[in-house]
Amino acid sequence: MTTDDQSQARSVARSIAIAALLISLGNVASRLLGLGRQSAIAFFFGRGLEVDAYTLAWNIPNNIYELLINGAISAALVPVLSEYAEGDKEEFWRVVSGIFNIALLVLGALLALAAWQAPFLIALQVDPTQAALRPLATELLRLLLPAVFVMGLSGLMLATLYARRTFLFPAFAGAIFNLGIIIGAALFHQQLGVTALAVGALIGALGQVIIQSFGFRGLRYHATFGLDHPAVRRMLLLYGPVALGVFFSIVGTTIDRRLASQFPAAPSTMYYATTLIQFPLGLIASAVSMAVLPTLSRQSAADDRESFRRTLAMGLKVVLLLVLPAAAGLAALASPIVALLFQRGQFAATDTAATALALLFYLPGLPAAALDQVLLFAFYARKNTLLPNMVQGAAIIFYLLSALPLLFFTQLGFLALVLGNSVQWISHALILYMLMRRDTAFGGLRLGEAALKSLLASAGMAAVVYGVALGSGELPHLAQLLLAGGVGVLVYLGLAAALRVEALNFFVDALRSRLQRGKG
């Protein structure tokens, strides 16, 4: 590698590291406030008819948002908008205005239809015998719809800011939304009952728009749909295949939950375990993926294949650096983590043991799921949304081929489905990686070396952490986790440094550079 190549690689790595750090901080705040939101709902409304109605009502507008807005952000909006963000400002804002107008018009029409057909939509989800649940869920659905429209505007703003590589304001949008629900529940629960959550959702959504509006200074809005602009047409075409991926996901989830329903407490046990899996995915994979997407999109548009493959490789290395120790730590501390988070009230020690065991069966798929997100975004950066969404269908086949034999020919019970999910994640990542290799040569970038070094450091860390946890078993769970986790972080950093893990050096250099600029 020449000196110029090394300099460019370090510059890209610094940019990715800082962006990933900002997004990770936002994700941490969002997920912590998400726990606070759930605690507030439990504190004010308990568990029963009101929360059941809220959960059912929220599912419908949330699905509309996921289908129209959230799925389009990484698949179509950020990749295409990134190409125009640093060019002619007038053209950029014309494209942004067009896609805003189209998306909000369609979203508004669907939400109006949902308000009109609210009784029918709730009837699809509520058993006819639950007479008291239907009217309350119907009322909540209609009250939640305005918040979802504002959320749609916020999601479009987030995509625009990410395309402009402005990460600070959108990084904390999720935290603002959760805070809004907490405020709504706390202030209005006595006067409004459970409908206070709908007020809180609207407060949170408005807060998202307000915080992100600071990144829209200089906006020049155009009252146009921009259908004659090639960028708008490309975004619409790119998003089409995402609907196919959403369909496959719905099918897979339906099959998994239907099979799990055979076993008492299996769905809830799997829910608690996957909550812990989603935490590192949100903090690591989502942050790194969103950080590299604008850069990959620009490099792909410029047909700079060498820079594209180096940026993608660095994104994968950063994920390996962070997700492997996260998986190892969860494995070593599964029981105390589950106990600390859930073991109170009706959640007994036996529930902790079952959830921790399910978590261990999910963990083999965690690194693959994290790498999968980066690979998926790399396809999106190349404006290829059809192929990765087709892979989702193939991954479901792998799930069935692994889960069903284990389910019928072993005594694993619902854990056979958990292993099937791990196989699904691994197969999806492997297929995407093999497809990416057809056009992107990873030779000479030492991905295998990075994976092996991070794996060795993580294994050493896990052994030490497990030993510390055993030795401190008499301590309260929080103290035990702080002690074992702190030792684990130091051990992992020491081993990674001793093994000269490349991504760690880039992270240290990026942070040092950021601190020096801050002092200057």
Do both 220 and 254 map to the same domain? Answer: no
The answer as to whether 244 is a domain residue is no
Do both 268 and 148 map to the same domain? Answer: no
Q: Based on DSSP, count helices (H) and strands (E) in the chain, helices before strands.
A: 22, 0
Nearest partner of 18 among 136, 167, 121, 156, judged by Cα: 167
**Tens of pLDDT along 330-388?**
998 888 887 777 676 555 677 778 878 988 999 999 999 998 888 888 887 877 777 88
Q: How far apart (Å, rounded) are the C-alpha atoms in residues 283 and 61?
A: 25
Q: How far apart (Å, rounded) are the C-alpha atoms in residues 43 and 50?
A: 13
Mean pLDDT within 182-193: 88
User: Based on the structure, what is the number of domains in the chain?
Assistant: 2
- 90-100 as b/e: b if 16+ CB within 10 A: eebbbbbbbbb
Expressed as residue numbers, the domain containing 487 is 249-383+440-514
The answer as to whether 520 is a domain residue is no
Mean pLDDT within 408-419: 89
Domain finish residue from 160, 194, 228: 228
Do both 287 and 363 map to the same domain? Answer: yes
Q: What is the mean pLDDT of the chain?
A: 78
Burial, 448: exposed, middle or buried (Cβ in 10 Å; 0-12, 13-18, 19+)? exposed
Do both 100 and 153 map to the same domain? Answer: yes
Do both 173 and 76 map to the same domain? Answer: yes
pLDDT in the model for residue 401: 93
Do both 338 and 276 map to the same domain? Answer: yes
Q: How far apart (Å, rounded) are the C-alpha atoms in residues 161 and 19?
A: 12
pLDDT-derived band at 47 (thresholds 50, 70, 90) equals very low
pLDDT in the model for residue 315: 83
Statement: the pTM of the whole predicted model exceeds 0.85: no
pLDDT at 470 over 60: yes
Query: Is the torsion defined by CA of 240, 242, 248, 253 positive or negative?
Result: negative
Do both 354 and 453 map to the same domain? Answer: yes
pLDDT in the model for residue 477: 78
pLDDT at 2 over 60: no
**Tens of pLDDT along 123-179?**
776 656 666 777 888 888 899 999 989 998 888 888 888 777 776 677 778 788 889
Number of C-alpha atoms within 13 angstroms, CB side, residue 107? 29
**Tens of pLDDT along 83-118?**
776 766 777 787 778 888 888 888 899 899 989 988
The answer as to whether 194 is a domain residue is yes
pLDDT at 503 over 70: no
Do both 161 and 26 map to the same domain? Answer: yes
Burial, 519: exposed, middle or buried (Cβ in 10 Å; 0-12, 13-18, 19+)? exposed
pLDDT at 465 over 50: yes
* 362 touches 418 (CB < 8 A): yes
Question: 420 or 2, which is more confident?
Answer: 420
The answer as to whether 48 is a domain residue is yes
Q: How far apart (Å, rounded) are the C-alpha atoms in residues 35 and 31?
A: 6
pLDDT-derived band at 469 (thresholds 50, 70, 90) equals confident
pLDDT at 428 over 80: yes
Burial, 360: exposed, middle or buried (Cβ in 10 Å; 0-12, 13-18, 19+)? middle
The answer as to whether 401 is a domain residue is no
Do both 218 and 260 map to the same domain? Answer: no
Greatest mean pLDDT among 36-40, 67-71, 129-133, 378-382 lies in 378-382
Domain finish residue from 195, 228, 261: 228
pLDDT in the model for residue 430: 92
pLDDT at 514 over 60: no
pLDDT-derived band at 496 (thresholds 50, 70, 90) equals confident
Do both 135 and 277 map to the same domain? Answer: no
Do both 121 and 90 map to the same domain? Answer: yes
Domain finish residue from 228, 260, 295: 228
The answer as to whether 286 is a domain residue is yes
The answer as to whether 405 is a domain residue is no
Angle CA(500)–CA(505)–CA(508) in degrees, nearest 5? 140
The answer as to whether 238 is a domain residue is no
The three-state DSSP-derived secondary structure of 447-482 is HHHHHHHHHHHHHHHHHHHHHHHHHCCCCCHHHHHH
Do both 320 and 223 map to the same domain? Answer: no
Query: Is the torsion defined by CA of 97, 103, 106, 112 positive or negative?
Result: negative
**Tens of pLDDT along 237-288?**
777 777 777 667 756 765 775 576 566 556 566 766 777 787 788 777 777 7
Task: With both helix axes pointing from N to C terminus, report the angle between 305-332 and 286-301 in degrees, rounded to the nearest 10.
Answer: 170
